[in-house]
A and B are shown apart, each in its own frame.
Chain A
Amino acid sequence: MGGKKDDNERRSSRGVTRRGFFTAVGAGAVGAAAIGRAQAPGEAAIATAGEPAKVALRINGRAYRLLVEPRWTLLFVLRERLGLSGAKAGCERGECGTCTVLIDGVPRYACTTLAVEAEGHEITTLEGLMNGDKLGPVQQAFLEEDALQCGYCTPGQIMAAEGLLRANPRPTLDEIRTGMSGNLCRCGAYTHIFKAVQKASELKKAGGR
């Protein structure tokens, strides 16, 4: 991921001094709260460049309190801070879908979501689809339908399918194609992926969670 644009030198040359920031913010701030607790009406939440701020995230039903820099994406926090490596890093530009997670039950790209923006929302990752030690219905369907080759896109495909089926439990093939269109598979396993989504819909109907 580390292109030459991301080097530290350039980053710090763009950095903002804490004092400079607070002067600017102070000019009109109605009331400023550190991030990490509920934002009161009329209050702005603030985090300073390069400084970890307290953030409360709800992931797979569990509450986490973390120190997070403003520029950290949700994907970075999940993988590198919490060890939840289900969501994969691919393009990191919203193009491939392998980082897909559910936010309030809806599929989104974790690579284009700042962790500070995910505060107050319910986040579900691949790990959250497990039934204890057993695979959840969408995971099971991908296994049974052999819906992968290399598997790199699979976590994102499964999360996209989960989101699709929550919104539309009995999708048509066309609806599946559209619903899954934000997830690329470089191995071209699409036919099997679409079958797996149909299968997952049946498994869920038959009582899978």
Chain B
Amino acid sequence: MLPNFNYVRPATLSDAVRQLTPNARVHAGGTDLLGCLRDGVFTADTLVSLSAIEELRGIRPALDGGVAIGAMTTLTTVASDSRIAERYPALSRGVTAAASPQLRNQGTIGGNICQRPRCWYYRGEFQCARKGGEKCYAAEGENQFHCVFGGEVCFYVHPSDAAPALVALEAMVRIVGPSGARSVAADAFFVLPSKDYTRETVLGPGEIVTGIVLPAQPRGTYGTYRKVRARGAWDFALAGAAVVATIAEGRVGRVRIVLSGVAPIPWRVPEAERVLVGQRLSAKSAAKAAAAAVEGAEPLAQNAYKVDMLRGAVEEALLELA
């Protein structure tokens, strides 16, 4: 049985923002939220359901030739949208690789980027730093599924398969809160533990993600997402890479490589990108970029295997675009 909470289903966004009192939580699809409440990871006085707010659902053309996705759009809807499959294949593959069919039918894109860490200490009965305790138990504990980049004080990996693609596509996250609307680059939406180990996103009190805007991509832009996991079907990424590259006359112009499963935020690797600019995509340049991508990785006691996996994932993703 879940612990007690009030439930409110506002009809408008402004009412939803007003209902988000300090210990209230947004309920989107509930797939992540209800698990956390059941396991006592955090509590909620009130759940504010967004399910009656129609404007948050659906995929529409945006200004400047981009595409806007409402926060309450399910992962299945994103995965089966032909515009997204054609123009933003990295995202399409990311959401297709996430969770299971049932969870994609229910889980939303907004909830996917706001989902809480899957670290087993955080989800388990440990009063870890992220839950107001003293330390990160993963640093010296069972850390085979933890991060190799950007941990410093808390070593979880960001669980989303959509987020790396959103960062690689330079998407914007639209937010509405008590003081109005704002937009944040996907890149700046996620918060590193060294900056604030109590939260994963820049959302402030009462703020709601209302949608995501994918900018138009220049002609000759290609993308993909490669996810490595222990099982062929639903499982979180052990390592992965979203790649988006614009190729003109056979040579790489702009390229973005963003890693999943290895850092507390979608982890961009500018060094690897730099290796590729001006080059042809070949087995050689892909291998060189993949080596640059893992440069600086700091594995914990039990997860050095991720470094090789990551190198392979980046290489394979790049070769897919060649």
Contact = CB atoms under 8 A, between A and B. Distances in A.
Interface stretch (B30-38, B260-268, B279-287): B30-38
B250 interface: no
Given A109-B106, A182-B103, A47 B45 contact: no
Interface string A142-171: 000000000000000000100110000000
A130 interface: no
Contacts of A30: 10-12, 15
A62 interface: no
Contact of A41 (B11, B18, B30, B47): B11
A114 B46 CA distance: 13
A97 B3 CA distance: 22
A47 B7 contact: yes
B275 to A, nearest CB: 35
Contacts of B34: 73, 112, 114
Contacts of B12: 30, 42
B2 interface: yes
Given A14-B3, A44-B10, A71-B2, A92 B38 contact: yes
B8 to A, nearest CB: 5
B305 interface: no
B201 interface: no
B21 interface: yes
A182 B234 contact: yes
Given A30-B15, A112-B31, A177 B9 contact: no
27 contacts: A11-B3, A12-B4, A30-B11, A39-B9, A39-B52, A42-B11, A49-B5, A49-B46, A70-B6, A71-B2, A71-B4, A93-B35, A94-B103, A97-B102, A107-B101, A108-B102, A108-B106, A112-B29, A114-B27, A114-B34, A116-B7, A117-B51, A160-B102, A163-B101, A181-B100, A181-B233, A182-B100
Would you list the 8 A-B pairs with minimal beta carbon distance, nearest first? A182-B100, A28-B18, A181-B233, A70-B7, A71-B2, A45-B9, A49-B4, A182-B102
Interface of B: 1-12, 15, 18-19, 21, 24, 27, 29-31, 34-35, 38-40, 43, 45-47, 49, 51-52, 76, 99-103, 105-106, 232-234
Interface of A: 1-2, 5-6, 10-12, 14-16, 20-21, 24-25, 27-30, 35, 39-50, 69-73, 76, 92-94, 97, 100, 103, 106-109, 112-114, 116-117, 160, 163-164, 177-179, 181-182
